[in-house]
Amino acid sequence: MIELLDVCYVRMGTKDIQTSTDFATRILGLEVSESSRNSRHLRSDERGHTLYYHEGDPNDHVVGFEVRDSQTLEIAAATLEDLGHDLHRGTRDECDSRHVRDFVAFREPSGLKIELVVQPEIMGKRHFPSRDAGISGFSHVGIFSQDCKRDEAFWTQVCNARVSDRIGDVPLLRVNEIHHTLALVPAGRGGLQHINHQVESTDDIMRSYNLLKQHNVPITFGPGRHPTSGARFVYFQGPDGMTFEYSVGVNKVDEETYRERQFGFEPFSLCMWGAKSNLNGLEN
């Protein structure tokens, strides 16, 4: 069993590092924590970075998950090797560029690169965002799945994820007390579907909604409210077609008493306020 603690970063290629940096700082509201000619580390909370852009293929996506310690990483590596996954051990240089003690990389069943990470760096310096978006931190990702039932089995049986809710066959999966850290979205391919940042209040959602519209950023869903997690949200499109989300008010789950719930595959299961979804894989 692979014991995931939390999602810790996303790494993405981009066609234009400057355009992506401008979006991440001036629109999204992250802080550049490290910069090189063709890469940027970006912060959203106490961690040294939670988003990394590098010049390269925009379809090159990686999601990092933190595990407790080196022993947990070894158990995870052995489990994956037994199942026939190709593993890549992070070299010293690769660990340094990620500001982690150690990591192992593999591909989940739909093909997205996953990195299991020990001790991602925390910064003593307070997160100082480039605009007042109210971001309190990087919180979850949606990933495309070529087969939701198969991939749910990977995340829940090989890894420690639990189903909080299901919309049709689409599971919302938790690895800690937060309602979901991972959402699977049906598609004919693998990869990252959206990147979520939590904000402090519903006012932050609405302030950003107006700012996004003023900057002609395509709004793909919302403002709205998920009946599953309880979160108020807005989704919008960033560089290279990637979807970003702000949300607030996600439920926490009591592991002792919670039972997974089944929602119908219909629009009000995605938004209880009736917003229309133009999200990749979840259009209605």
- Binding residues for Fe ion, rule: CB under 5 A, are 196, 245
Cβ closest to Fe ion, residue 108 vs residue 245: 245
Report CA torsion sign: 82, 84, 85, 86: positive
Closest contact distance (angstroms) between CB of 17 and Fe ion is: 25
Closest contact distance (angstroms) between CB of 1 and Fe ion is: 25
Residue nearest to Fe ion (CB): 196
* Pick from 63, 58, 49, 50: nearest CA to 20: 58
Closest contact distance (angstroms) between CB of 258 and Fe ion is: 19
Helix (H) or strand (E) segment spanning residue 121: none
The structure tokens listed for 203 are 């006012």
Closest contact distance (angstroms) between CB of 178 and Fe ion is: 11
Neighbour count for residue 18 (Cβ, 10 Å): 10
Residues 45, 126: contact at Cβ < 8 Å?
no
Cβ closest to Fe ion, residue 115 vs residue 245: 245
Cβ closest to Fe ion, residue 99 vs residue 225: 225
Closest contact distance (angstroms) between CB of 24 and Fe ion is: 18
Cβ closest to Fe ion, residue 90 vs residue 171: 171
Question: Can you tell me which residue has the tokens 């499109």?
Answer: 237
Cβ closest to Fe ion, residue 90 vs residue 186: 186
Q: What is the 3-state secondary structure (H, E, C) of 104-116?
A: EEEECCCCCEEEE
The structure tokens listed for 126 are 């307070």
Rounded to whole angstroms, how far apart are CA atoms 15 and 124?
A: 32
